[in-house]
Structure 1
Amino acid sequence: MTELTLIVREAIAETPLVKAIVLGSADGAPLPPAAPGAHVRVALPEGGDRPYSLVDHPDHRDGGTWVLGVRLEDPSAGGSRFMHGLAPGDRVTTSAPQNNFPLHEDARPALLIAGGIGITPILSMAAALARAGRDFRLHYAGRARGQLAFLAPLARICGDRLACHYDDEPETRLDVGKALAEAPADAVVYVCGPEGMIEAVKAAAAGMGIAPERVRSELFTKAPAAGADDTAFEVELRSTGQVVTVAPGESIIDALEAAGVDVLYDCRRGDCGICQCDVIEGVPDHRDVILSDAEKASGKVMQICVSRAKSSRLVLDL
């Protein structure tokens, strides 16, 4: 993975819980370009990393800086606490931009729906659509006034195409069904935020006959915690016959990498689909949020970053 060493230029409090972190290269050179929906992974001091979407902020479009939006989680698993502690002059290591949530390139309109910190990739989509003169509408929901980040740049980007919703104000609360019904019939729907919001949008869209491929989502959450009843199981690789034991509390990816197997993955939360593989034998214990109920019931594919096994052995097409 390409690694970049960047310097914090600014750390701005957008709300009491959200900070905008502005990063620049150590030598002032331009940073790699990023398409709407892209993210970078930021290395943590104690090991591991966390993904953060790149925000296409109107004040930082010279190519020399990136903007990240980070919500302080309670309790924090380490990532948001580290990011909120950053100050100008601090150095961080990031990956190059990656994109599992791309914006469609054809002329169809877009319906953008964001909840909380899920605004970060959605803002970049709105900026790209506005620059291209394409049709879109953005619904941004939060718990209360004062808790929605990046409202100033959003107003500049969207104008009257932005609608803000507050959970504690019934008259402004987001009505998912109404938002979908008012969108153009061929609109592509993008939703990012809490799992409950994403599932509500998917369910409402399905009830209205909107094709699943027109509803695209990205979930902001950490990987599911290990269950108290998790037990060890074996994974057999069909290509080589190698058998690897996955311990309780250990992911399939971690077990495979420890055994020297090169595995393709990204989010490690079960929402990007990069690590999906075919199941030849055995019964998966699905813990992702990307597969449909029908796909889970079929038992033919699984996301090996978070899912486990109900059977003693899985045979995977790896």
Structure 2
Amino acid sequence: MTSRTLHDARVVETTDVAVGARRVVLEPPTGARRRADPGTHLDVRVEVPGGRPEIRSYSVVDSTPDGSRLAITVLRSPTSRGGSAHVHRLRPGDVLRCTAPLQNFPVRIGAQRYLLLAGGVGITALAATARTLTRLGADVDLVYAGRSRDRMPYLQDLQAELGDRVHPAVSEEGDRLDVDALIARTAREAPGTEAYVCGPLGLLDAVTRAWRRHGLPPTALRYETFGSSGRHSAQAFRVQLPALGIETVVEPGSTVLESLQRSGADLMYDCLKGECGLCVLPVRHVDGLVDHRDVYLSEQQREAADSLCVCVSRVAAGPQGREPLLVLDLP
């Protein structure tokens, strides 16, 4: 297992590759250089408002074979808690604290067919996989969905390299992605397909539901998130953890986990993306609507609303208009 030790990587290049998307090329120190296989990411230390250091994860878009240079691409989000803004401020010569490449999204070589489905900046997790599978002569299709071409990083580069294996779905051009039709066609024509998906929560939910509805094996569907905007706008809400005597407010730019930590709670967590389930806490009571922003809990668990991934999920005001409140237990 690759160490999560942080090293000083030097920024050697920064380029805008789409509206709001910045490519940053890093040069790790000699002792921390590792080959970045498809699906790898870097854990990066960023400075968020208030001067607090936090860890964010960004996919490795491409790299040199020896890992002497690694590229990440980060979308400047208007709802960012500070991580994307920190990366966008970097200039050549700056130093970024980061890990060697870490693997959470490996591709299995040898499948009958591959469907890669990227939503927006989710392409960063799939670009290297698409290139590798194409180079190996695999049967692969890359479906790349976005609002407009100028907001789709690397679209032209991938089309030039991979040709008709790339299938853009551009909403502003009237070609909005029909997830159910895509999965239905996959089930009908190539049921041996393995799918790799990265994008916002809405896309992952749609793919997961369609995959199940059309009877495809769940083990052939793999995904990674780059963050979720949720179903409700982020708003402040109170959170209580009676077992530790904590009551605090979760601001729109923070998370339940961060707010509880600042109040002294020592909680377990890992991915900070709602994928691993390590941070799940039982819900004792809630006033308002639980906005599950994870991909760990099952649909039945979400409907029950008796547990919550505190690293990403939130509470929004309900129809009664009362101040939203979340009361948690320790497991």
Normalising by structure 2, report the TM-score.
0.77
In the alignment, which residue of structure 2 is the partner of 1:23? 26
How far does residue 138 in structure 1 lie from its aligned partner after superposition?
A: 0.4
Aligned length: 302
SS in 1 for 2:164: helix
Q: State whether residues 275 and 304 of structure 1, in contact with CA within 8 Å, keep that contact through their aligned partners in structure 2.
A: no
Where do 1:167-206 residues align within 5 Å? 167-170=171-174, 172-183=175-186, 184-206=190-212
- 1:1-318 equivalences under 5 Å are 1-26=4-29, 31-45=33-47, 46=51, 47-56=53-62, 60-170=64-174, 172-183=175-186, 184-221=190-227, 227-235=235-243, 243=244, 245=246, 247-249=248-250, 251-252=256-257, 255=260, 261=266, 263-267=268-272, 269-270=273-274, 272-275=275-278, 282=284, 287-290=292-295, 291-297=297-303, 302-306=308-312, 314-316=329-331
| In structure 2, distance between residues paired with 1:298 and 1:222 | 20
Cα distance in 1 for partners of 2:176, 2:305 equals 38
Q: CA RMSD in A?
A: 3.2
Amino acid in the other structure paired with 1:289: D
In structure 2, do the counterparts of structure 1 residues 303 and 312 end up closer, same or farther at CA, with 3 Å as the change threshold? closer
- C-alpha distance after superposition, 1:242-299 (max 9, x if no partner): x5646342635764697584724122x32x12515585x9568673421221133467
Quote how far apart the aligned CAs of 1:49 are: 2.8
Matched to 1:114, the amino acid is A
- Verify the 8 A CA contact 1:101 1:218 in the aligned structure 2: yes
Relative distance call for 1:24 and 1:203 in structure 2 (3 A) is: same
Question: Helix, strand or coil: the match of 1:119?
Answer: helix
Distance verdict in 2 for CA 1:97–1:257, change over 3 Å: farther
1:191: Cα distance to partner? Answer: 1.6
Task: Indicate how the Cα distance of structure 1 residues 308 and 16 shifts in structure 2: closer, same or farther if over 3 A, else same.
Answer: closer
8 Å contact kept, 2:111–2:193: no
Unmatched 5+ stretches in structure 1: 236-242
CA distance in 2, matches of 1:207, 1:107: 22
Contact residue 238 and residue 326 of structure 2 kept, 8 A: no
Contact 2:228 2:293 in 1 (8 A): no
1:311 and 1:83, CA in 2 relative to 1: closer, same or farther beyond 3 A? closer
Partner of 1:238: none
3-state SS of 2:238 partner: coil
Q: How far 1:312 sits from its partner (Å)? A: 5.1
Give 1:31 shift.
1.6
Structure 1 residue identity aligned to 2:43: R
**Cα deviation code 1:57-115 (max 9, x no counterpart):** 5xx44421101011122254322222222221111111232333332344342211111
Give, in angstroms, the shift of residue 192 of structure 1.
Answer: 1.2
Structure 1 pair 100/219, CA: closer, same or farther in 2 (3 Å)?
A: same
* Structure 2 partner of 1:240: none
User: Among the aligned pairs, what percent are the same residue?
Assistant: 28
Shift of 1:300: 7.5
User: For the structure 1 residues 220 and 49, does the alpha-carbon distance in structure 2 shift closer, same or farther, using more than 3 Å as the test?
Assistant: same
Structure 2 runs not aligned, ≥5 long: 316-324
Distance across 2 between alignment mates of 1:108 and 1:301:
38
Deviation readout 1:109-168 (Å, 9 max, x if unpaired): 221111111100111221232233322110011112222211344235423211112101
Query: 1:112, 1:138 within 8 Å by CA — same for their partners in 2?
Result: yes
2-side partners of 1:127 and 1:185: how far apart? 23
Conserved in 2, the CA contact under 8 Å of 1:253 and 1:263? Answer: no
Contact 1:139–1:165, Cα closer than 8 Å, also in 2: yes
Give 1:121's aligned amino acid. A
CA distance in 2, matches of 1:314, 1:219: 27
Structure in which a larger fraction of residues adopt strand: 2
Using the alignment, how far apart are the partners of 1:312 and 1:162 within structure 2? 47
Distance in 2, matches of 1:48 and 1:261, equals: 16
Q: Give yes or no for contact 2:201–2:228 (8 Å, CA) kept in 1.
A: no
